[in-house]
Copies of this chain bind each other. A is one copy, B any other.
Amino acid sequence: MADYKTKQRELILEYLKSSDSHHVSAGDIAAHLRESGTVGIATVYRQLDKMVEAGLVRKYSLDGGACYQYVGGGGDCREHFHLKCLNCGALIHVDCDFLSGLAPHILEHHGFEVDNRRTVMYGLCRKCREEGK
Q: A61-B62, A86-B118, A105-B98 are in contact. Are A123 and B129 (CB under 8 A)?
A: no
Residues of B within 8 A of A113 (CB): 123-124, 129
Given contacts A99-B102, A99-B105, A113-B124, 8 further A-B contacts (CB under 8 A): A86-B118, A92-B112, A98-B102, A112-B123, A113-B123, A113-B129, A115-B122, A119-B122
Number of interface residues of A (CB under 8 A): 32
Give me the interface of A with B, judged by CB distance under 8 Å. Answer: 61-63, 66, 83, 85-86, 92, 94, 96, 98-99, 102, 105-106, 109-115, 118-126, 129
Contacts of A122 in B (CB 8 A): 114-115, 118-119
**Which of B92, B106, B111 sits near A121, CB closer than 8 Å?**
B106
Q: How far is the CA of A118 from the CA of B124 in the complex (A)?
A: 11
Q: Bound state CA distance, A114 and B96, in angstroms?
A: 16
- Some 19 contacts from A to B, beta carbons below 8 A apart, are A61-B61, A61-B62, A61-B63, A63-B66, A83-B110, A83-B112, A83-B114, A86-B115, A86-B118, A92-B112, A98-B105, A98-B109, A99-B106, A112-B125, A114-B121, A115-B123, A118-B123, A119-B122, A119-B123
